[in-house]
Chains A and B, each alone.
Chain A
Amino acid sequence: MSLTADDVKKIAHLARLGIEEQDVVSYAKDLSGMLDLMTRMSDLDTDGVEPMAHPMDQVQRLRADVVTEQDNREKFQAIAPQVEAGLYLVPKVIE
């Protein structure tokens, strides 16, 4: 299976990932190579096999519904690219 340059641009858009125009063809080639590798999976019959998401087949641990985290807003915002009055700033979304 092979991916086209347009496929790569579409996937990059889904991931909100900027890629250089000159690299699109090489990504298409690399991803197609990876997909070729993956087609080997169809060699194995997996009908009726339960998918495994986690090595321990664990279920999510529950805890009491009490506040355990401290307020670290200032500490966390100190490393943000742009903040003002305790808010994270991004370019205007609504005109």
Chain B
Amino acid sequence: MHNKTIAELAKGLRSGEFSSVELTTAFLDRIKQHSSLNSYITVTEDLALQEAEAADLRLAKGDAELLTGIPIAQKDIFCTEGVKTTCGSKILDNFIAPYNATVVNKFNNAGAVMLGKLNMDEFAMGSSNETSYYGAVKNPWDINTVPGGSSGGTAVAVAARLTVCATGTDTGGSIRQPAALCGITGLKPTYGRVSRYGMIAYASSLDQGGPMTRSAEDAAIMLQTMAGFDEKDSTSVDLPVPDYRAGLSKKLEGLTIGLPKEFFGEGLNSDVAATLEAAINEYRKLGAKVTEISMPTLKLAIPAYYVIAPAECSANLSRFDGVRFGYRCENPADLADLYTRSRGEGFGKEVKRRILMGTYALSAGYYDAYYIKAQKIRRLISEDFKRALSEVDVIMGPVTPSTAFGIGEKIGNPIEMYLSDIYTIAINLAGVPAMSVPAGFAGGMPVGLQIIGNYFAEDRLLNIAHQYQQVTDWHQQMPKGFE
């Protein structure tokens, strides 16, 4: 049961092959069996079984939707009413959200069954899931390696079949990078496509939620539920949501693919490069035309991002002050001590580093040199994408410079960790959608192919990924011991 797609499970639920309670129980058992991966922060067993019973009733009455009765899990960045929502941080270790994120409401309305809340880097700041207050998450392909981050718990839960599908969020690569390192499919939608209401903010002009699944078809089904205008999110975009599944079967004859030469140069592991070359050849066989392009501003994405994201984070995280919710230090001497110690004791080192960086970049005398300069570079990067995507239909490239690195290998060197996001960050600055699709293995570890499209072209990306998954089976591979 645990290896079926959403469409297959929906069929099984309707034919009476199994009930949602049986399906949910099977996944809850797997979660217990593989708890050493540390992918879940909270397992909502009782709630899941209640939701599964309700789903079975809906199915019996015949008013079920495609996701009714399907087990999913939420990254612990999405607020869930009555359920602990930690964002991977000690400062929210006691936080029971008083309302649901819009994304959570949408899955609830569809009748999906929430299994629990997934581990993540603290406040989504990290590329290895090692900054979580709840400990590192292990990559099921090799438990000595990281799953990537920040949606590391999500990627592991999907890869190890501890849920059917799950949500992630992506500020600089946090859906695509863990999807690549764990061999699953991940989609970061266009900025504004999925509501950010109730999704705890890291860098508000970059954050975007999206689906993490085993296949492009499952991602299309999840995105169908997640996407759409929300008046509670002031940056939500009011555009119609296409039928994502309907577009999957379109043939790729005549598709033009651009490969930025900046993506395939120095720094890319040669085994990863060879794997990607093979994947791109599959696209040639499917009728695509491949050309080399140049995007000269890409190399400035990391410096611009590490000004803009920390600047926004330092403002967003000022709300955690020990007064209205979350952690408060013991015996504060005065109000200043209450703020300073609650934040000092509640936040981990990476979060503090970014708050300090952002505070500095926004402080008097440095604002123009760092923040305004970075925003100008952001404009040039976005123009580079617009120009490239007027010449080709999609851009392809690596997601990560190498396969999963070892737990503990980079955590002591933050700059090196930041540089590992070199292929993903520019996409967030521009706001365009991008996917990571399983494209093979290098040294036994998964490799992801990145597909980048124009604004609101999620349907096209899903179609391009789906067609590849019809002629390859990389997305169906399972880590040993988790079959």
Contacts and interface: CB of A to CB of B under 8 A. Distances in A.
Interface residues of B, number: 70
Contacts of B95: 79
B376 A52 contact: yes
Contact of B98 (A18, A75, A90): A75
A11 interface: yes
Interface residues of A, number: 52
Contact of B359 (A14, A34, A72, A92): A14
B378 interface: yes
Given A37-B302, A37-B306, A54-B235, A88 B380 contact: no
B345 interface: yes
B322 interface: yes
Contacts of A12: 356
Contacts of A66: none
B363 A11 contact: yes
A71 to B, nearest CB: 13
Contacts of B138: none
A17 B353 CA distance: 10
Nearest to A47: B376
B322 A81 contact: yes
A86 interface: no
Interface string A78-90: 1111100000101
B324 A80 contact: yes
Given A30-B353, A91-B333, A44 B338 contact: no
Interface in B413-432: 414-415, 418, 429-431
A16 to B, nearest CB: 4
Nearest to B362: A14
Contact of B340 (A7, A16, A54, A63): A16
B343 interface: yes
A49 interface: yes
Given A19-B344, A81-B322, A72 B98 contact: yes
A81 B338 CA distance: 12
Q: Dominant SS at the B interface? A: helix
Given A27-B353, A81-B323, A15 B314 contact: yes
Interface in B216-259: 231, 234-235, 237
Contact of B379 (A31, A41, A52, A58): A52
Contacts of A11: 356, 359-360, 363
A69 B345 CA distance: 33
A2 to B, nearest CB: 12
B347 interface: yes
A12 to B, nearest CB: 6
Given A31-B353, A49-B380, A58 B235 contact: yes
B96 A33 contact: no
Interface in A1-40: 3, 7-8, 11-12, 14-20, 23, 27, 30-31, 33-34, 37-40
28 contacts: A11-B360, A12-B356, A14-B363, A15-B343, A16-B318, A16-B339, A16-B343, A17-B344, A17-B347, A17-B352, A19-B352, A20-B344, A34-B418, A37-B306, A37-B418, A41-B377, A44-B297, A44-B380, A50-B376, A51-B376, A52-B378, A52-B379, A52-B382, A54-B205, A79-B325, A81-B323, A88-B324, A91-B333
Interface of B: 94-96, 98-99, 191-192, 205, 231, 234-235, 237, 297, 299-300, 302-304, 306-307, 314, 318, 321-328, 332-341, 343-345, 347, 349, 352-353, 355-357, 359-360, 363, 370, 372-380, 382, 414-415, 418, 429-431
Given A8-B356, A16-B339, A76-B325, 4 more contacts: A11-B360, A23-B349, A30-B414, A90-B335
Interface of A: 3, 7-8, 11-12, 14-20, 23, 27, 30-31, 33-34, 37-44, 46, 49-56, 58, 60-61, 63, 72, 75-76, 78-82, 88, 90-93
In the A-B complex, list the 6 residue pairs whose CB atoms are closest, starting with the nearest: A18-B344, A55-B431, A51-B375, A81-B328, A52-B379, A46-B376
